């Protein structure tokens, strides 16, 4: 996984709610995917791409792979930051993310999500359409 770039990333700060805890009183590992999704959505919106704009371009985005390496837990009430950035956009949209526990000053997780583009009918596109690439690189 490539480290976050010096510029071009988007940060979202959140607080761990009680309902995200598992029986060990730490954030259940599956919620990290939700946090990555929140960051990914903020990154796409920062480039002028929300669901409406993606659909208007005749496209849909489909997650095809997610990776996450956990390194330090999040606990109830911890403040944390999700940092998201673009790794690549040509054939698949590859978005890197890092979750940093601000309360305890430690990185909690790091990973990436790879997204394929389909047409409105669900047909897989072999390259990310130019209309999306232009906005993603803006």
- The CATH number given to whatever domain includes residue 33 is 3.10.129.10
Burial class (CB in 10 A: 0-12, 13-18, 19+), 108: buried
Q: Is residue 120 in a domain?
A: yes
Q: Is residue 4 in a domain?
A: no
pLDDT at site 138: 83
Number of domains in the chain: 1
How confident is the model over 62-120, as pLDDT tens digits?
999 999 999 999 999 999 999 999 999 999 999 999 999 999 999 999 999 999 999 99
Q: Is residue 3 in a domain?
A: no
State the residue range of the domain holding 73.
10-137
The Cα 125–Cα 12 span in angstroms is 30
Q: Is residue 5 in a domain?
A: no
Share of the chain above pLDDT 90, in %: 91
Give the HSE-up count for residue 46: Cα atoms under 13 Å, Cβ half-sphere: 16
Q: Is residue 61 in a domain?
A: yes
Q: Is residue 1 in a domain?
A: no
For residue 7, what are the contacts with CB-CB under 8 A and spacing of at least 6?
none
pLDDT at site 74: 98
Q: Is residue 118 in a domain?
A: yes
Q: Is residue 109 in a domain?
A: yes
Q: Is the pLDDT of residue 3 over 90?
A: no
pTM: 0.93
The Cα 86–Cα 40 span in angstroms is 9
């Amino acid at each position: 996984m490539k480290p976050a770039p010096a510029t071009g990333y988007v940060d979202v700060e959140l607080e761990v709610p009680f309902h995200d805890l598992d029986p060990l009183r730490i954030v259940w590992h599956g919620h990290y995917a939700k946090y990555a999704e929140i960051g990914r959505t903020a990154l796409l919106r920062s480039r002028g791409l929300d669901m409406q704009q993606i659909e208007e371009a005749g496209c849909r985005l489909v997650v095809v792979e997610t990776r996450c390496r956990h390194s330090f837990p999040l606990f109830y009430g911890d403040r944390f930051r999700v940092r998201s950035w673009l790794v690549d956009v040509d054939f698949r949209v590859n978005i890197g993310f890092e979750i940093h526990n601000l309360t305890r000053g430690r990185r909690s997780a790091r990973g990436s999500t790879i997204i394929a583009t389909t047409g409105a009918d669900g047909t897989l596109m072999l390259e990310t359409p130019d209309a999306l690439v232009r906005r993603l690189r803006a």
